[in-house]
Structure 1
């Protein structure tokens, strides 16, 4: 029987899908990697799995432990899913402006929530709480190299395999810096001329959840990033809707920003294959 032991085993191997209508008239071809098809609905399933596996392998987390993390939502949701399968408790510290859909889902999964004003404050609060609670593990997604390593060993390898090495450009958002740094490490080892394009909000504060934390994340390897594209909120929201209505792809607002940036890159990069990383789904943003 082809039966998986738990939901953690079905993380990854997400598909690449052509953006047919949105690529019309461009010099390049755009394909989207649908990371929202991971079991909890986002690319952060990979991150959460990497953080927990690394901690377990190093003996940093023990049975019945409390996991503590600062998250804008998706890493928290992924951790809550995986903690449920491993019998860990979870405390999440997050900015209070996070969308209600994410808060409800986290509570439904059994996470305890603590709110702060900003993501930087959430990081500091998470460190503080982890020192106060016995048998706790601060997973530290913004600093923990296991975050970028999981993308180097899985996401990057999948893209290389599925494009048969023909990928030319990666377009990805910058939140913790783990995804884009891991992708850059894994793919530039195979093809050093691959171009890495980072996507950030044009303003701060902003409403493009999941990217643009308001500080330079320690994991971000800026020397591996070849170009930065800044996206306005209105363009991200519009492209999110266009993805749904023109391509039938139910992706979230950061995906909208990433595809908008991919289209801009595709206007000038003749004959190139662009892979856009779509982090999460539209269902978490329907209150927009």
Structure 2
């Protein structure tokens, strides 16, 4: 019996390196009380947490490093430098480790201890910047380090790198469309760099001379209520006091160059406390470990 089983010609699906596992994450329909009774459709989430380092930034890290290697910006022996709020840094760290690059990350001191520990475990050097300067302070520090490194340094610049939206245009969008049976009416995305929102929306609505698969897709951008830059840019009214927030990875305090607001139909601002409350409910009601606790 055992002999007959092991003599079969099975096709193998074995990755040879961690970056081979980036992408093709599944969709999950929420079933809890988080879904309003009046909603006639379904709320479906894309489980980017099932990637190698548990976030959508795995795609971004891989895309930027691949593009830099391809155009010669990044060569063996060079040092990668990047400002990050955490997840992009984690993605870059595992790919840099895989490919033998040294990595220096600058990040605001307000970012979670867990993220710092994970980055250090992956061999990255972490330089913390004052919380008062937010992401702009991390960017300034990264630029300072680049000046010191000279030609041996490479900064990928996630907030302006075209490889950022490109990877979502070519992978995230098509995956959602195929796995949903080409049946999605509203696309909702939180905004950090704006790459996920922009690239995926370009796939749906169209990009340059390529028509979209669903031009009338309703695109919703989500930002912290305490930092309503997108709302302001779209002509909306700010709500409450503006300043620091607790939603790590979103609301960087700038409007990134890669974001295309012409694709956005609606901006929704969520207060940090509400976001954390819903994240807790996702743990308890859906069994999904989302957000930072």
TM-score (norm 2): 0.85
3-state SS, counterpart of residue 29 of structure 1: coil
1:244 to partner: Cα distance? 1.0
- Counterpart CA distance in 1 for 2:245 and 2:180 is 34
* Farther-moved stretch of structure 1 (121-130 vs 6-15): 121-130
**2:22 aligned partner:** 11
Structure 1 equivalent of residue 144 of structure 2:
128
Equivalent residue, structure 1, for 2:236? none
Q: Deviations over 1:211-230 (max 9, x none)?
A: 00011111110110110000
Matched, 1:196 2:225: no
Give distance in 1, aligned partners of 2:278 and 2:60. 26
TM-score (norm 1): 0.86
Aligned residues: 254
Q: 1:83 aligns with which of 87, 96, 101?
A: 96
Deviations 1:24-70 (A, max 9, x none): 40323101111111101111000000100110111111012111100
Structure with max Cα Rg: 2
What CA distance in whole angstroms lies between the structure 2 residues aligned with 1:67 and 1:26?
Answer: 49
Structure 1 gaps of 5+ residues are: 253-284
**Which runs of no fewer than 5 residues in structure 2 stay unpaired?**
1-11, 206-211, 227-242
**Structure 1 residue 115 displacement after superposition:** 1.4
Q: In structure 1, what is the Cα distance between the partners aligned to 2:203 and 2:144?
A: 34
Equivalent of 2:59, from 34, 42, 46? 46
Query: Which residue number corresponds to residue 271 of structure 1?
Result: none
Equivalences for residues 52-131 of structure 1 within 5 A = 52-117=65-130, 118-131=134-147
Is 1:244 the counterpart of 2:283? The answer is yes
**What do residues 169-208 of structure 1 show as CA deviations (whole Å, max 9, x unaligned)?**
1110110011100011011111100011000000031010
For 2:143 and 2:157, the matched residues in 1 are separated by 8
Residue 239 of structure 2: aligned partner: none
Alpha-carbon separation, structure 2, partners of 1:13 and 1:132:
39
Deviation string 1:220-279 (CA, Å, 9 cap, x unpaired) is 101101100000111101100111111111111xxxxxxxxxxxxxxxxxxxxxxxxxxx
